[in-house]
Amino acid sequence: MRLKKTLLGCTTMLGVALLAAGSPASANDELQKLQGDANQWVMPTGNYANQRYSTLDQINASNASKLHPVWSFSTGVLRGHEGGPLVIGDTMYVHTPFPNNVFALDLNDNGKIIWKYEPRQDPSVIAVMCCDTVNRGVAYGDGKVILNQSDATTVALDAKSGKELWHVKNGDPAKGETMTMAPMIVKDKVYVGISGGEFGTQGRLTAYNLKDGSLAWNAYSVGTDEQLMVDPNKTTNMGKPIGKDSSLSTWQGDQWKTGGGSTWGWYSYDPATNLIYYGTGNPSTWNPVQRPGDNKWSMTIFARDADTGMAKWVYQMTPHDEWDYDGINEMILADIPVKGKMTKALVHFDRNGFGYTLNRETGELLVAEKYDPAVNWATHVDMQTGRPQVVPAYSTQHNGEDKNSRNICPAALGSKDQQPAAFSPKTGLFYVPTNHVCMDYEPFKVSYTAGQPYVGATLSMYPPKGDNNLGNFIAWDAGQGKIVWSDPEPFSVWSGALATAGDIVFYGTLDGYLKGVDIKTGKELYKYKTPSGIIGNVTTYTHGGKQYVAVLSGVGGWAGIGMAAGLGNDTDGLGAVGAYKQLSNYTQLGGVMTVFGLD
């Protein structure tokens, strides 16, 4: 089969201006060029559009059954391995969860370690990391590898030597502020987020100057207009100006100061609009009675100017969140037909179980439909107001009483968590790793103390009634808001997907299988059981004229927190342990990079 060299030849089919190289002044020249070379994997998200699509087709539906492991690399770390490697030229960069080691591996010499970076961090940070000690990867730009450490330190390393070039403190673990997200580099800036919504932090997106780590700007999720970096008269929500004090007016007193809205997910960027897109997390606490109001702008999609940080538009998916449906999942940018009209779209699969399609230029809401039939907490989203219509029986708002709300679907970990979906321009479909999990949710009163959990709810999780599977891998039509096909999985699909021009979609399973399925039908073409459960993201690249597929295995994350942290009670791990207690019968801990190829 023909091995396609770049993405540039398919930009017409993609229809996304951000993949074109025609506006060199609009984006970092180096990364703009590198993301168009399918032989490399230069961003954690694959490209600025977060599409996780490759034009490589040497590995395809006709020969996928002949795939096999060709080499592997042990990271030496036992906690959950999210994210995936970067491939820049002949070097692969591999990261680990805490203690956040980074390895540069020589692809010309059997994966020999060129250099290794081992941060020195206080292990006490582990106690304030919500849902395992995960890290979602490093970023590359201007000859630097950028790492976000668990202790909220952002570090720049020389890509050739591993030497530390600069570091900056982005948060304080003593307040519950940690970092798990992968950085994003655009032009001369590094964009990083913060974790800690379960500790009452004030979420924010921060831009540092790539050259030296100096602060460019800070944009908060909740707070004053100045902190939010919004213009009350120009920043819009559902097509209307948000107005003065749009966030403050939706919180009681000073609750916004510990209001959450953390920004630990994936970011995307459109050079045509010069906007960065990302989501914000849950409001604090998880007890909704203690924080009356819509709690803006937690649970919100932000579109910000990449240079100034000013917000152009916002959209809140779950006002006054009662279920911990963090809104941090990735924003995928693609030009697709929406109900018959070609649209510059932003597609977002929210934790709350609704798949959203918006106009990425204006923030107009176009589609909002359930992507798991089990979702029951709301009947639908009102397309005029953008608000979900909550079913009272599944509300957790109990007028101050501690009451257990039962059989809420999805569970707090959502119909999808951070595990990123993929988009194929060949089919126009989105390929989504999902959770098929429900919960009981019992709020209780909690007081804020800096550095202590600020949760205020006890959860139990389990499959929907009548079902035995905890996950599905689906193909989604974002223009119509419909499931095209669905493959059930015994456990949640917690890995990131990869779609290729070879008509294959790859994903990993919690019990350790790398799977390749037909992009049009979902038919299984290949599977191989790796040494541990997969919560990492599948990537592909070429070396020596051959295409390879790589994935990190290492069970953990929220779904695997019971195994990763040695928890045993059903309500441990914020409710996840009970749902996944059978997982230890199928896999064990251990971080390994496995690379697959053809003969």
Given the DSSP bridges, would you call strands 204-209 and 215-220 parallel, antiparallel or unpaired? antiparallel
Q: Which phi and psi angles does 500 have, rounded to 5°?
A: -130, 165
State the pLDDT at residue 390: 98
List of domains in the chain: 8-289+300-383+398-597 (2.140.10.10)
Distance of CA 45 to the CA centre of its chain: 9
State the pLDDT at residue 398: 84
Work out whether the CA dihedral 470, 472, 477, 483 comes out positive or negative: negative
Low-confidence ranges of the chain (pLDDT < 70): 1-28, 400-401
Per annotation, catalytic residue among 57, 294, 321, 324: 324
Give the Cα-Cα-Cα angle 431, 432, 438 (nearest 5 degrees): 155
Say how far apart CA 525 and CA 516 lie, in whole Å: 5
Q: How many CB atoms lie within 10 A of CB 10?
A: 18
Work out whether the CA dihedral 372, 326, 95, 192 comes out positive or negative: positive
Instruction: For residue 147, give the DSSP letter.
Output: E
What are all long-range contacts of 92-96, with beta carbons under 8 Å and residues at least 24 apart?
92/550, 92/593, 93/138, 93/140, 93/145, 93/159, 94/552, 94/593, 95/135, 95/137, 95/138, 95/147, 96/135, 96/591
Contacts of 442 (CB under 8 A, 6+ apart): 402, 403, 404, 405, 457, 458, 459
Of the candidates 354, 157, 182, 145, which has an alpha carbon nearest to the alpha carbon of residue 264? 182
Contacts of 147 (CB under 8 A, 6+ apart): 95, 100, 102, 117, 119, 138, 154, 155, 157, 183
- The secondary structure of the chain in percent helix, strand, coil, rounded to multiples of 5, reads 10, 35, 50
For 10, what's the count of Cα atoms within 13 Å in the CB-facing half-sphere? 20
Say how far apart CA 463 and CA 413 lie, in whole Å: 12
Asked, as a colleague might, if the bond just before 217 is cis with ω within 30 of 0, I would say: no
Cα dist from 562 to 11, 180, 492, whole Å: 44, 19, 14
State the pLDDT at residue 19: 39
3-state secondary structure of 532: coil
3-state secondary structure of 584: helix
Say how far apart CA 181 and CA 95 lie, in whole Å: 12
State the pLDDT at residue 523: 98
Contacts of 40 (CB under 8 A, 6+ apart): 34, 87, 88, 89, 541
State the pLDDT at residue 400: 65
Amino acid 45 reads T
- Find where tokens 């913060």 sit: 194
Contacts of 447 (CB under 8 A, 6+ apart): none
Instruction: For residue 472, give the DSSP letter.
Output: E
pLDDT in tens, 383-436: 999 999 999 999 999 876 678 999 999 999 999 999 999 999 999 999 999 999
Q: How many CB atoms lie within 10 A of CB 25?
A: 7
Of the candidates 1, 8, 10, 15, which has an alpha carbon nearest to the alpha carbon of residue 342? 15
Say how far apart CA 528 and CA 513 lie, in whole Å: 5
State the pLDDT at residue 22: 37
Say how far apart CA 370 and CA 357 lie, in whole Å: 12
Q: Is 493 left (phi over 0), alpha (psi -120 to 50) or beta?
A: beta
Of the candidates 405, 463, 459, which has an alpha carbon nearest to the alpha carbon of residue 575? 459
pTM for the model stands at 0.95
350 is catalytic: no
Amino acid 335 reads D
Work out whether the CA dihedral 442, 443, 448, 454 comes out positive or negative: positive
